Amino acid sequence: MWNLNEFLMLLFSLSGILCGLILSYIASEELAVGKKYFLWFKKIILTLMLSLCLYVLAVTNLIFFLVFLLLGAVILVGQWKKPSLWWEIGVYLLFVITYFFLPELILREVLVVLLFLYGFPLGSLLRQKV
């Protein structure tokens, strides 16, 4: 059952993209210089999110762990071979769905914060692609 806290936490996780876009307009001249750091930060946060979800799902729900592992591998390979906005949407959808399968509230909160941090460089880099 959805409650307001879960909805607001997911909304907060998506606001990272908006904050990244705002940052890109404020400091647009520094985007070209910081692009490689944004990409590295995005990869580190994605690795942390994958590690958290894989560990927790391996302990709690083996079937969803295997599905998550397969979908995560497809999305990561697709994102690295041919980067596009659609793969980024896939990353968000994968982790938002996983959010509902995490057993404890603290794990959900950690995932929400990591999704926010993932959206921050993503929003900054989106402006360069457009």
Residue range 42-86, pLDDT digits in tens: 889 988 998 888 888 888 878 888 888 888 888 888 877 887 888
Look at the chain and report how many structural domains it folds into: 1
Residue 20 lies in a domain: yes
Residue 130 lies in a domain: no
Q: What does pTM read for this prediction? A: 0.86
Print the SS3 string covering the chain.
CCCHHHHHHHHHHHHHHHHHHHHHHHCHHHHHHHHHHHHHHHHHHHHHHHHHHHHHHHHHCHHHHHHHHHHHHHHHHHHHHCCCHHHHHHHHHHHHHHHCCCCCHHHHHHHHHHHHHHHHHHHHHHHHHC
Residue 49 lies in a domain: yes
Structural domain harbouring 16: 10-124
- 104-126 pLDDT, tens per residue? 888 889 999 999 999 988 888 88
Residue 3 lies in a domain: no
